[in-house]
Structure 1
């Protein structure tokens, strides 16, 4: 038994892999390890870098990279400095979004919420210790970070994460805190376990969670959880604005009811 790890913004979700499973295909696992090598890089990767990131030998990496390149899932970058993901990966991202029933039913609600708030509206889905953005409706000011579907953030220090944890037991919250790589993403990121628990309790009481500059300096974000019929938190809707335009009290008064109405509409489907 071993674990495949990915990391982004201090979050390292683990996928448990039983290599003794007779149905487990090692070649497919290696291909996914090669593709996952690009998660944490900001530049094209050489073959040696892909092999190191994927935990395999150079010859094995070369065969996998060659196959994926032939299929269009990896390509050389424009300046021929190394390898980058290929365009055909976007086909699979599209398939996930159009076939995910939660994303489909949330889309009209998000559009209406963006129209009413005129601020950035996000839909995130839970993946163990992180939230992954599945929809992002932009405001008038954005960075690349704030536009990418598939971008992920840790649960422990985000408004959406605390909204999700508010619908978990204390034991489940403690488990998330324990397993999270709690580090400061900005100087305002809350990493102390007890302070995180306080924020979760506040979210339980208020029905929404708030984060101030914990992922992006100058950003204020509010979120409410999306729930399965049995009450399991699946993700969250976020509304994000700028502290140059909003103070905490006014932002919450203006947008907390709208976030609550939005998740209520989605949860009723």
Structure 2
């Protein structure tokens, strides 16, 4: 029987991540445990008890208790108002704000995204590339949106989303295959692509067209297009995407109407390669 996923965020959290750096003399295991405790909330759907934090973070209860106590004192965690457990604290939003205001690419993107939203009058998003997932950093919703479609920090799979396919179109085929192999291929709808062959069909089409076009991947009614954002070396670091309703658009009309605008916006936000690198790319 086919199992469909909901739209909860795709977590980057790995409780064993710190083990990869155990031979690094400068690496602090205590910091890794603290990050693990903070990251325990990525997959949570309600406040977490101390035992749940310890289990999710992969640390023993005694260590979790000390870390949680310290984070409470520092405002990084807080108690649920109904005393059902722990939640991320207000200072986490301070850090999110710092990332959004200090990232040079996002600084360039803000006015571009505002103008794109004004012209297309559909949902406009900017996502950042994080291996098997893309993470929304800027979101400008349309009139009718589900809650998850408005939250900065929400993450979705790379392999089956318009922004993700746009990013994959700039990667070598073997890197695309590696990302698909390591992805959770449980579908969101009965139309969600599930194989490397299906992914590559969209990747090749995106390379030829200049932007991706996907329908009914995360939501049954949705059509989305995306174009990649590049760093100064030409590598993909994110994507700009626009989403609309299949009740109002066909895939072809949506692509024809907004594809060039999305491509231009992504090119404007992308870093310009230095002359030497640019020459090498052209050659």
TM bucket normalised to smaller: over 0.9
Q: In 2, Cα distance between the equivalents of 1:13 and 1:264?
A: 31
SS in 2 for 1:66: helix
Kindly indicate whether residue 232 of structure 2 is the aligned counterpart of residue 229 of structure 1: yes
Q: In 2, Cα distance between the equivalents of 1:67 and 1:230?
A: 41
- 8 A contact 2:11–2:43 mirrored in 1: no
Kindly indicate whether residue 202 of structure 2 is the aligned counterpart of residue 199 of structure 1: yes
Residue 40 of structure 1 deviates from its aligned partner by 0.4
Structure 1: give runs of 5+ residues left out of the alignment.
Answer: 1-7
Q: In 2, Cα distance between the equivalents of 1:61 and 1:161?
A: 35
| TM-score, normalised by the number of residues in structure 1 | 0.93
- 8 A contact 1:131–1:235 mirrored in 2: yes
Kindly indicate whether residue 63 of structure 2 is the aligned counterpart of residue 35 of structure 1: no
Q: How does 1:83-98 map to 2 (within 5 A)?
A: 83-98=86-101
Q: Deviations over 1:181-229 (max 9, x none)?
A: 2111222210111111111111111111112121122111100001112
Q: How does 1:109-188 map to 2 (within 5 A)?
A: 109-188=112-191
Residue 10 of structure 1 deviates from its aligned partner by 5.9
Q: In 2, Cα distance between the equivalents of 1:33 and 1:167?
A: 32
Q: In 2, Cα distance between the equivalents of 1:13 and 1:40?
A: 9
Q: In 1, Cα distance between the equivalents of 2:75 and 2:110?
A: 30
Q: Deviations over 1:69-102 (max 9, x none)?
A: 0111111111111111111100100111111001
Q: In 2, Cα distance between the equivalents of 1:9 and 1:181?
A: 13
- 8 A contact 1:11–1:154 mirrored in 2: no
SS in 2 for 1:38: helix
SS in 1 for 2:94: helix
Kindly indicate whether residue 260 of structure 2 is the aligned counterpart of residue 246 of structure 1: no
- Structure 1 stretch 142-151 or stretch 176-185: which is displaced more? 176-185
| TM-score, normalised by the number of residues in structure 2 | 0.89
SS in 1 for 2:41: coil
- Structure 1 stretch 9-18 or stretch 185-194: which is displaced more? 9-18
Rate the CA distance shift 1:9–1:89 in 2: closer, same or farther, 3 A.
closer
Backbone CA RMSD of aligned residues? 1.5
Q: In 2, Cα distance between the equivalents of 1:117 and 1:260?
A: 13
Q: How does 1:13-52 map to 2 (within 5 A)?
A: 17-52=20-55
- 8 A contact 1:12–1:180 mirrored in 2: no
Question: How many residue pairs get matched?
Answer: 262
Residue 11 of structure 1 deviates from its aligned partner by 6.4
Structure 2: give runs of 5+ residues left out of the alignment.
Answer: 1-7, 273-283
Residue 265 of structure 1 deviates from its aligned partner by 1.7
